[in-house]
Amino acid sequence: MTNYFQFFNLPVQFNIDQKALRSQYIANSKLYHPDFHTLSSDSEQDKVLEQSTINNEGWKTLSDPQKRTAHILEINNALPEEGQAKVPQEFLMDMMDINEALMELEFDPDPTIKEKVTLSIRSLEEELNKEGQAAMDAWDEDQEDGFLTVVRDYYLKMKYLSRIKEKIK
């Protein structure tokens, strides 16, 4: 797996310097653009094309906060494999209540219930963002994994909430 932070020569951070990322992306785009290597050998063109692909994928990943969080968790081996993720029981209980309300909405599309569920999700999301952001702000890649565990739980909960929000739409 490519470490996009290394590729862009940036420090591993949740709150990345967007200007530095953009600057490096543009420089790499010029360096690895296939049109500038049309006279190169086939193997050199393949290498340039691969670097161009990494540059584009890295940009997409690091410029998106959720994808960037997942990438940091991945490069630190802190993200469980698909289907193996465990979220805290307390959170699942909250989600069970929300899912029950969503099932009620399927049978009786009551705007009052929908608004209540939406507000409940928004409140939970704000609480999670505070907790997650505090852990991301405090994290340093040279320290213990405790903060990454909090960030991992935050990331998994937010993914879960995203799926719930899609159901509401």
The predicted structure's pLDDT at residue 17: 95
- The domains of the chain are located at 4-75, 89-168
User: Among residues of the chain, what percentage have pLDDT more than 90?
Assistant: 41
Which among 61-70, 79-88, 93-102 has the top mean pLDDT? 61-70
Give whole-number Cα distances, 55 to 46, 52, 92, 96, 167, in Å.
Answer: 14, 5, 38, 41, 34
| Structure-derived torsion over alpha carbons of residues 132, 138, 142, 147, reported in degrees to the nearest 10 | -40
Q: How many CA atoms lie within 13 Å of 116's alpha carbon, on the beta-carbon side?
A: 13
The model's pLDDT over 107-164, given as tens digits with 9 standing for 90+, comes to 888 888 888 888 988 999 999 999 888 888 888 766 656 778 889 989 999 988 888 8
The Cα–Cα gap between 21 and 5 comes to 9
Confidence label for 62 from pLDDT (cuts 50, 70 and 90): very high
Give whole-number Cα distances, 41 to 31, 46, 162, in Å.
Answer: 16, 9, 46
Domain 4-75 has CATH 3.30.1490.20: no
The predicted structure's pLDDT at residue 145: 65
